[in-house]
Amino acid sequence: MNCPNCGSQNVQLRHIGRKVGSSIGAAAGGLAAMEGASADAVIGSLMPVVGTITGGLIGFIIGVGSGATLGAITGESLDGTVFDEYCCPVGECTFNTQ
Ligand SMILES: [Zn+2]
């Protein structure tokens, strides 16, 4: 495949949507999990200290992980539609194949 702008063969996938989506998803998931973590921590404090820490931690990890995954899936659907899917480092061009 050649870059339609400068003809370079050194074309790369950008995955901008996926990258941005997974970072936003991780951040959002982390924030949501921290709010949820206080609830988990309350439940967890039925078993004091250990329950509080593990409850909060597990909630946070799950939140970040699922947020990142959801964000990546959402972002990936934007690649090639909202965001140009390819770039070439030579001319710093971005483009889609259609
Ligand atoms: Zn180019």
Q: pTM of the prediction?
A: 0.64
Query: Number of structural domains, the chain?
Result: 1
CA 25 distance to own-chain centroid:
5
**Gap from CA of 5 to ligand 1 centroid (Å):** 5
Tokens 């003809």 belong to residue: 7
Q: What is the pLDDT of residue 94?
A: 92
User: Which residues have CB less than 5 Å away from ligand 1 (the ion)?
Assistant: 3, 5-6, 8, 88, 91, 93
Instruction: Tell me the C-alpha distance between 56 and 30, whole Å.
Output: 11
**Gap from CA of 49 to ligand 1 centroid (Å):** 57
HSE-up of residue 2 (Cα within 13 Å, Cβ side): 5
Residue 33 domain-assigned?
Answer: yes
**Gap from CA of 75 to ligand 1 centroid (Å):** 24
Residue 70 domain-assigned?
Answer: yes
Residue 68 domain-assigned?
Answer: yes
Residue 4 domain-assigned?
Answer: no
Residue 17 domain-assigned?
Answer: no
**Gap from CA of 35 to ligand 1 centroid (Å):** 45
Instruction: Tell me the C-alpha distance between 12 and 95, whole Å.
Output: 10
pLDDT tens track for 73-87: 999 888 888 888 899
Residue 64, helix vs strand vs coil: helix
Q: What is the pLDDT of residue 31?
A: 86
Instruction: Tell me the C-alpha distance between 49 and 52, whole Å.
Output: 5
pLDDT tens track for 18-58: 999 999 999 988 888 777 766 666 655 666 666 677 777 88
Full residue range of the structural domain in which residue 40 is found: 24-95
Residue 56 domain-assigned?
Answer: yes
pLDDT: which is higher, 17 or 43: 17
**Gap from CA of 4 to ligand 1 centroid (Å):** 7
